[in-house]
Amino acid sequence: MSNASSRYSVLTAAHWGPVLVETDGNTVFSSRGALPTSHPNSLQTVVRDQVHSKTRVRFPMVRKGFLASPECPQGVRGQDEFVRVSWDEALDLIHAQHKRIRDNYGPASIFAGSYGWRSNGVLHKAATLLQRYMALAGGYTGHLGDYSTGAAQAIMPYVVGGNEVYQQQTSWPMILEHSDVVVLWSANPLNTLKIAWNASDEQGIAYFDALRKSGKRLICIDPMRSESVDFFGEKMEWIAPHMGTDVALMLGIAHTLVENGWHDEAFLARCTTGYEIFADYLLGVSDGTAKTAEWAAEICGVSAVNIRELAAIFHQNTTMLMAGWGMQRQQFGEQKHWMIVTLAAMLGQIGTPGGGFGLSYHFANGGNPTRRAAVLASMQGSLKGGTDAVDKIPVARIVEALENPSGFYQHNGMDRHFPDIRFVWWAGGANFTHHQDTNRLIQAWQKPELVVISECFWTAAAKHADIVLPATTSFERNDLTMTGDYSNQHLVPMKQVVPPRDEARNDFDVFATLCEHWEAGGYARFTEGKSELEWLETFYNIAGKRGASQQVTLPPFASFWAENTFIEMAEHPANAQFVRFADFRRDPKANPLKTDSGKIEIYCQRIAGYGYADCPGHPTWLAPDEWHGNAEADQLQVLSAHPAHRLHSQLNYSSLREQYAVAGREPITLHPRDAQARGIANGDTVRVWNQRGQILAGAVVTEGIKPGVICIHEGAWPDLDNTVGGMCKNGAVNVLTKDLPSSRLGNGCAGNTALAWVEKYTGPALTLTAFDPPANS
């Protein structure tokens, strides 16, 4: 048994920032953030739960019905028992079936487009390592886009020449100095800034705290009074439209600008194209319906008086529209960010210090100025002599691809056909949690001949696999990372804290071994003759060369690694003055955007030419299939927002559940009016259902949500109980959400498009089993 004197701290990092982990070399005792902050991050405190969880995959496991007959499997995925096998047996079995499927159906039949928030680090990226192996084996089907921003990242290149959702924003020092009004539009930074795609630099909430104290006018437009509104308190005004109606609200504001002559005609003429065509729609010339404040009010549930007031505020002040991503995760989501750019263009403030729009202030601390940095290289793109993806499908269309092999679909101006997927290998993600319409996914998931999951934990995806391989957590291996997806503020060693638990192995070693199965010398081809630490030294030395051009000098790798501390990069004074689109605004001809016209495209001829009814040639109000305007009696709109105490589905099993679970389930937030009409009280267990499925959740009754809307945070692990009609006992919202594309342009996920009924639950008590490993595991 360990004593306190044998304990020490190891520096590592996760998506939620640099972390100091207390250990004795075998057991994790505690963890805390390594950077000074006045805004503690709950996610940094549960490393112990991650390493020592009962939910860990401990050994290689194979589904019983698959093991009995691999070429003609028996049983049902998700309902069958698992059998423990040795690593050699598991890898031999995978290789034999992989080779059979590849030989018979070709590389396109193998889906290795694993998607998800994988463990942080530049070497041990699960999907990258999987795809490296598949490339050496002869190619695979990959994926396009992501669930977070599928609609926005498709439309924005047409409109402003870049995806915007993953680009640096006008710097925070400029916002704090020059903005008069800041609008959080469908953004909840207090939750989402806890994490970053790399590691958080942890500066974002501090900037929002400075904004809170700045005396500026602050407005939040969101169907729910989020944690961020509570953070700002009386300093922030909350406006709650009906879900999915943001375009109508923006059109009403835009019409008011024109009505009063407040739109910036000079900016529109000099820096945009197609405004006249859009104006005909806005004013009702082209369709007979003027998009007045009164018209918008009928749709969005915000009064015409408030809409006109917003137009006046935005016009009279330097206004920054900070837009989140939730509103584009809806049917016709492309229209939301296209319209917010159009509104900002009409205000004429794009490219000014403190004005315009920004699409990543709520993610990875966009706006934290980029440092003069030595930026790490990674395993991505380092492969030599392999065959990369031979086909790619939009990531959110995986179910359609499984349901409709060789089926026709359209994507971003292209006519395409789905591949005939026979083998799925998913690593570094939890698709059963982030994909919509879970029951439809379960049915489609039965179709491949082989499903392999590499996982640390017994997620729903692992429980629906044929073969499950136990992966190490990031705390059981060595790696490196940067903090700040935009700032590159720190270079952090991710030192191994404890040995791998049970039989867990690094994905790097697993795929290298499988490459040797594929051909003699395959292990060496995969590893290029380098060990884990040799790869890290390579990436570090490349960072040193990159840093030299920024006047940054790194110490030798050996001394850096031994010191167990991070390197903070130097500030770059010019970057603190960065204004997005400033050069373009100053001289559009000399600094054209990467659009067809070189300008902001309010009307896009190329998109219009695609002829997509679900994505016309200019921003347009399109009523979703399921929304307030067509709800049946007693139906409510389902909002699936980002949770406060986990990263999507990561950490759902951890002790942080105690901070948010209600009645032992995922919470559901609903308005007192809706609760009273259904006889629901705070703390009750409720049943939520629609034609796609049913879940149990715990009621949180509050006036901090729009009547007619319920919020169930995304990321709860599915826990379907077939003894009670497939009821999800853990409150996984995607059991309810509709699986349809945002449009044929982006094919993004539309997870915020759903209606459901709610009632107090009076059925039998049901025990939560989401986090229990299968028997014999």
Residue 31 lies in a domain: no
Distance CA 701, CA 590 (A): 55
Distance CA 411, CA 552 (A): 43
Q: Are residues 344 and 203 in the same domain?
A: yes
Q: Are residues 73 and 196 in the same domain?
A: no
Q: Do residues 165 and 153 make contact, with C-beta atoms less than 8 angstroms apart?
A: yes
What is residue 386's predicted lDDT score, i.e. its pLDDT? 78
Residue 710 lies in a domain: yes
Q: Are residues 272 and 397 in the same domain?
A: no
| CA 7 vs CA 22, 225, 309, 773: distances in Å | 7, 43, 60, 30
Q: Are residues 106 and 224 in the same domain?
A: no
Question: Within its chain, how far is the Cα of 249 from the centroid?
Answer: 25
- CATH number of the CATH domain containing 204: 3.40.228.10
**519: exposed, middle or buried (Cβ count in 10 Å: 0-12, 13-18, 19+):** exposed
Q: Is 117 a catalytic residue?
A: yes
- CATH number of the CATH domain containing 664: 2.40.40.20
Catalytic residue among 115, 275, 325, 445: 115
Q: How many Cα atoms occupy the beta-carbon half-sphere of 664 within 13 Å?
A: 10
What is residue 387's predicted lDDT score, i.e. its pLDDT? 87
pTM of the model: 0.97
Could you state, in chain order, the average pLDDT of each consecutive group of 10 residues for the chain (777 residues)? 80 98 98 95 98 98 97 94 98 98 98 93 96 95 95 98 97 98 97 96 96 98 97 97 98 99 98 98 98 98 98 98 97 98 98 98 96 94 78 97 98 98 96 96 97 98 98 98 97 98 98 96 95 97 95 97 96 97 98 98 98 98 97 98 96 97 97 98 98 98 98 98 94 98 98 98 96 91
User: Could you count the other beta carbons within 10 Å of the beta carbon of residue 100?
Assistant: 16
Residue 159 lies in a domain: no
427: left (phi over 0), alpha (psi -120 to 50) or beta: beta
Q: What are phi and psi of 542, to 5 degrees?
A: -65, -40
Q: Is 115 a catalytic residue?
A: yes
Distance CA 479, CA 377 (A): 12
Q: What is the DSSP letter of 650?
A: B
Distance CA 339, CA 528 (A): 48
Residue 48 lies in a domain: no
What is the 3 state secondary structure string of 108-157?
HHEECCCCCCCCCCCCCCHHHHHHHHHHHHCCEEEEECCCCCHHHHHHHH
Q: Do residues 527 and 598 make contact, with C-beta atoms less than 8 angstroms apart?
A: no
Look over the chain and give the mean of its residue pLDDT values, rounded to a whole number: 97
Q: Are residues 84 and 137 in the same domain?
A: yes
Q: What contacts 147, CB < 8 A, 6 or more positions away?
A: 115, 329, 395, 396, 434, 435, 748, 749, 751
Domain of residue 352 covers 169-369+587-610
What is residue 276's predicted lDDT score, i.e. its pLDDT? 98
**594: exposed, middle or buried (Cβ count in 10 Å: 0-12, 13-18, 19+):** exposed
Q: Domain total for the chain?
A: 3
- Taking each continuous run of H as one helix and of E as one strand, the counts in the chain are 26, 31
Q: Do residues 151 and 337 make contact, with C-beta atoms less than 8 angstroms apart?
A: yes
Q: Are residues 185 and 253 in the same domain?
A: yes
- Taking alpha carbons only, the member of 171, 529, 141 closest to residue 320 is 171
With tokens 């919509």, the residue in question is 436
Q: Are residues 66 and 80 in the same domain?
A: yes
Q: Are residues 639 and 594 in the same domain?
A: no
Residue 776 lies in a domain: no
Residue 577 lies in a domain: no
What is residue 2's predicted lDDT score, i.e. its pLDDT? 59
Catalytic residue among 8, 16, 105, 117: 117
Strand partners, 650: 647
Q: What are phi and psi of 532, to 5 degrees?
A: -55, -55
- State the pairing for strand pair 720-721/61-63: unpaired
Q: Are residues 358 and 381 in the same domain?
A: no
- Taking alpha carbons only, the member of 642, 638, 669 closest to residue 754 is 638
**719-742: pLDDT as tens digits:** 999 989 999 999 999 999 999 999
Residue 714 lies in a domain: yes
Distance CA 650, CA 667 (A): 17
What is residue 59's predicted lDDT score, i.e. its pLDDT? 98
- Taking alpha carbons only, the member of 727, 631, 637 closest to residue 685 is 727
Helix (H) / strand (E) containing 492:
strand 490-494
Q: Are residues 350 and 380 in the same domain?
A: no
Q: Are residues 332 and 445 in the same domain?
A: no
Residue 771 lies in a domain: no
- CATH number of the CATH domain containing 124: 3.40.50.740
Q: Are residues 247 and 130 in the same domain?
A: no
